[in-house]
Structure 1
Amino acid sequence: MDNNTAAVSTNPIYVGYVLKRYPRFSETFVVNEILAHEREGAKIDIFALGPVEETHFQDGISQVRAPVTRLDFKRYNAETAWNWIRAGFEQLPGFAQKLAQAKCTVCELTQSIAIALEIRARGIQHLHAHFGTQATTVARQAAIFADITYTFTAHAKDIYFQYEESTALDQKMRDAFTTVTVSDYNLAYLKEQYGQDAEKAVRIYNGMDLRKFPYNEFGSRERHILAVGRLVAKKGFEVLLDALALLKKQNVNVRCTLVGGGPLAEPLSSQIAALDIADMITMVGPMPQPDIIEMMKSANMVVAPCVVSEDGDRDGLPTVLLESMALGTPVVSTQVAGIPELVVDGETGLCVPERDAQALADAMLRLLDDHEYCQTLSRNGRALIEREYDEDRNAGKLRRLFDVAVKSHTAG
């Protein structure tokens, strides 16, 4: 039996992933999810709406087989947009009526038409988008034009950030076959805020490829605190610096490494100088994921001092916490969004109030000084990851949603 016959006999689902940008260093969960689908034979195509803007990526990117179609129409002129609209009239059934009801920018409209035409040409059965903003705007309209179903995953900023203009999240949830979100906290918030519009929403945690993150029993570790993330307000790294300053006043012997880049690099550097803690912390910028993993394995702990920023943005469930716990490194984080579902205080990690530098310092000091407690948190953390955050299991839940969506649409 050749490969083509095998593919037909197993009838794999064919899904288009719509993403604002691909790849992105901070969106490890997207790569994990696509790889898990591909391991089970699903056929995936990726549609990226904007150009790549980063220089560091997850090593898993090289393992993704899905082809990437890039649709950066912002650099195109009106004539190009009209050519796509004309193609829509020629090739997409019912296009005129659907076009009249479309609510999006010219760029998003053009991208939607281009994807709809590819859907029909390739035989894509379903679309899935990550984040309920631009990617879902385009996925929704493309699905309407092509007459297929769509779903999307809502994470954090797309739920909580106070955008100047409405992102029509209510309409997107109504029209989607299902809305997926990544924590029970998010799910409760969506149902409280949007009522019936969110009644089809479900929670599926982001997952980990546990083969890539083998458990490392907590043994002898350096007095080393590791923090990883984009240097943006919601990560709360300024609180970490304040906490380190408190530890310095107590003459605590510890070093900290802050991995990541972003707009707050300069303000954080200035804060380090003002607090006189340059001897305790090193900012190293972005690093390849394999190097970060090696640092996690030897660190005493990983700290994610997340906060709710002034504009309402917050972390849903930071991937760095999943990775650290999977590897067996204890974590300290904050009571923000869905984090307490993962970092159960005193059981799978330490979870302190946000913006409380003293509480953060106390938590870090406890893990520096209590080796046996670190071992307990290490074992419990890994057990929770295996139970709730296995990527293959959680991606399977997502594929079942895709399957039901396609079958119900076909039957209808």
Structure 2
Amino acid sequence: MSATAIASLPDAPIAYIMKRYPRLTETFILNEIRAMERLGAPLHIVSLLPPEPPPHHPMVAEVQAPLHAMPQPGERQAWRLMARAHAAAAAAAPWRYLGAIARACLWSVQSPTPRTVWKQFMRGGMIATLCRRHGIRHIHAHFANAPAAAARFASVMTGLPFSFTAHAKDLYLTPAHVIRRRALAASFVATCTGYNVQYLAGLLGGRTDKIHLVYHGIDLGLFGAAPATTATAAETLILSVGRLVPKKGHDDLIEACRLLHGRGLSFRCRIVGAGPLRHELAAQIEASGLTGIVTLDGAMTHADLVALYRTAALFALAPRITEDGDRDGIPNVIAEAMATGVPVVSTSVSGIPELVRDGETGRLVPPRNPQALADAIEQTLADQPAARRMAAAGRARLEGEFDLWKTTRRLHSLFGCTSCPPGAPETSSRFQADDAAMTAPAAVMP
């Protein structure tokens, strides 16, 4: 059957291309995949890099889609598998394959890193053969960088439509002309903030017909409201969650904690996440006299994190735009804290104001301003009636625009899927999670 005929079959599978799957920090994609399957869309998942080692979120075990791990250079038989896949792609559509080679030649000449272009070409050939083998009708990439590049090559080789979801770092650290080229070739581009929509529209000369706002959905059924606080001042917990990287602004939060401690406020601050700044942040905590008050707790499974939200008096995160342009979109952890009913203090960066409306659903301060951050935290903790009102408004905001089933249905319709099966959820309801990690080994492509 031709690629055109397969693409017209609404119940044929969709290939999801990701840099690495599963990944502990990407629960927003895992939630989307689970919901997409519940809505009746058959999927195949392609991981360009080896799956992240355990621990995995227990929710990974619920995913039914086969996982295809891309063979890595240096692995036994990797080059033989790649050669066979490319030979099959060339034999199936020789002119399309030559067109992909021509594009790779042109783009590699234009790129400061030509080897990267050819790496995505090689991955594209593997994906193209997988798509033909499994009757894939549409290729969707999460992230506008490497996954979208590999998906584009696979689309050229097969004639199948492709699309991608642009998030944050992938969008702003990829050259603008490359994003524009991929967006014009894609059947559609989804993105997770209105802030990103404006940026993409600017790249496309104001054209918005291909750009669709699809917020990261929250499975609200996973998050029960936090109990009314009865904690003493000494037990007040300020919680922050995020990778220990510059754009998260953890150093600003630690400095804000130093200021709060100097004002005589009794609290603990737990920062959950792993990353390259761990030693630097630990040194800052010690130098600030905050040992035992501010702790770096490392990475945590989603189930443990959900339980931790319920113990927090306040959630604080201080994202910023780094010198190289890296930034967040709307950090998923902010939405999760709000879903639990925890008041939020954050910064007015990127898409965050679309969720945290200052004085309405939380408090916002300018980035890189520990003094303002400390003031907002202190005010929120001191005025509990206002904090509860903002927390309730935050939960209502999520129910209106960030509910997992509403957001996933938008993407489901963009794929041209058939109507949802009987019994498919209309709103979020808790999945029956299996506590065991995924036990089936990933298949090696193709």
Which of 322, 344, 351 aligns to 1:309? It is 322
Q: Which residue of 2 aligns with 1:181?
A: 191
* Aligned equivalent of 2:66: 67
Deviations 1:66-94 (A, max 9, x none): 11001133336666544433222222353
Contact 1:191 1:199 in 2 (8 A): no
* Closer/same/farther in 2, CA of residues 168 and 220 from structure 1, 3 Å limit: same
Aligned to 1:7: none
For residue 23 of structure 1, what is the aligned residue in structure 2? 22
Q: CA deviation at 1:97?
A: 3.0
1:410 is matched with which residue? none
Q: Which residue of 2 aligns with 1:349?
A: 362
In 1, the alpha carbon distance for the partners of 2:221 and 2:13 equals: 25
8 Å Cα contact 2:226/2:310 also seen in 1 = yes
Deviation at 1:101, TM superposition (A): 2.5
Contact 1:218/1:328 (<8 A) preserved: no
Task: Give the whole-Å Cα distance in 2 for the aligned partners of 1:271 and 1:55.
Answer: 30
TM superposition shift of 1:278? 1.0
Shift in alpha-carbon separation, 1:218–1:127, aligned structure 2, 3 A: farther
**Of 393, 404, 411, which residue of structure 2 is paired with 1:380?**
393
Contact preservation (8 Å) 1:206, 1:389: yes
SS in 2 for 1:367: helix
Which residue of the other structure, out of 167, 189, 202, is the alignment partner of 1:155? 167
Cα distance change on mapping 1:355 and 1:216 into 2, 3 Å: same
Note if contact 2:167-2:192 (Cα within 8 Å) is conserved in structure 1: yes
- Three-state SS of the structure 2 residue aligned to 1:73 is coil
Preserved contact between residue 300 and residue 329 of structure 1 (Cα < 8 Å): yes
Does the CA-based 8 Å contact 2:218-2:335 persist in structure 1?
Answer: yes
**Alignment-mate amino acid for residue 220 of structure 1:** T
**Aligned twin of 1:5:** none
Please list the CA deviations of residues 234-257 of structure 1 after superposition, one character each: whole Å capped at 9, or x if unmatched.
000000000000011101111111
Offset at 1:107? Answer: 2.7
Are the aligned partners of 1:29 and 1:206 in contact in 2 as well (CA < 8 Å)? Answer: yes
- The one-letter amino acid paired with 2:376 is A
Partner of 2:86: 85
CA distance in 1, matches of 2:389, 2:228: 9
Q: Counterpart of 1:241?
A: 254
Letter matched to residue 69 of structure 1: H
SS in structure 1 of the partner of residue 367 of structure 2: coil
Structure 2 match to 1:109: 121
List per-residue Cα deviations over 1:147-181 (Å, max 9, x = no partner): 111111101001222x5x77811111000011111
Whichever structure has more helix as a proportion of its residues is: 1
Q: Does the 8 A contact of 1:19 with 1:129 survive in 2?
A: yes
Say if 2:145 and 2:171, in contact at 8 Å, map to a contact too. no
- The whole-number CA distance in structure 2 between the counterparts of 1:81 and 1:324 is 44
Aligned to 2:276: 263
Residues matched between the structures, number: 394
Which residue does the alignment assign to 2:230? Answer: 220
Instruction: Write the deviation string for residues 27-66 of structure 1: whole angstroms up to 9, x where unpaired.
Output: 1111010011111111011000001345433221111111
In the TM superposition, what whole-angstrom CA distance separates every residue of 1:273-315 from its partner, at most 9, and x where no partner exists? Answer: 1111113111111111111111101100111111111211011
Query: How far is the alpha carbon of 1:196 from its aligned partner?
Result: 5.3
Name the counterpart of 1:56.
55
Query: What residue is the counterpart of 2:409 in the other structure?
Result: 396
Give the fraction of aligned pairs with identical amino acids, expressed as a percent: 36
C-alpha change, 1:96 and 1:182, in structure 2 (3 Å) is closer
**Shift of residue 204, structure 1, vs aligned partner:** 1.0
User: Structure 1 CA distance, aligned partners of 2:217 and 2:160?
Assistant: 27
Q: Shift in Å at residue 11 of structure 1?
A: 5.8
In structure 1, which of residues 262, 276, 280 is the aligned counterpart of residue 293 of structure 2? 280
| Alpha-carbon contact 1:334-1:353 (below 8 Å) kept | yes
Residues 54 and 236 of structure 1: CA distance in aligned 2, closer, same or farther (over 3 Å) = farther
Secondary structure of the structure 2 residue equivalent to 1:383: helix
Of residues 115-124 and 74-83 in structure 1, the stretch that sits farther from structure 2 once superposed is 74-83
Indicate conservation of the 8 Å contact 1:156/1:315, yes or no.
Answer: yes
Q: Is the 8 A contact 2:215 2:402 kept in 1?
A: yes
Report the AA paired with residue 161 of structure 2: T
Determine the C-alpha separation between the residues in 2 that align with 1:370 and 1:123.
58
TM-score, with structure 1 as normaliser: 0.90
Alignment of 1:349-368 (within 5 A): 349-368=362-381
Instruction: Kindly state the Cα deviation for residue 377 of structure 1 after the two structures are TM-superposed.
Output: 1.1
SS at match of 2:60: helix
For the residues of structure 2 that align with 1:59 and 1:78, how far apart are their CA atoms? 34
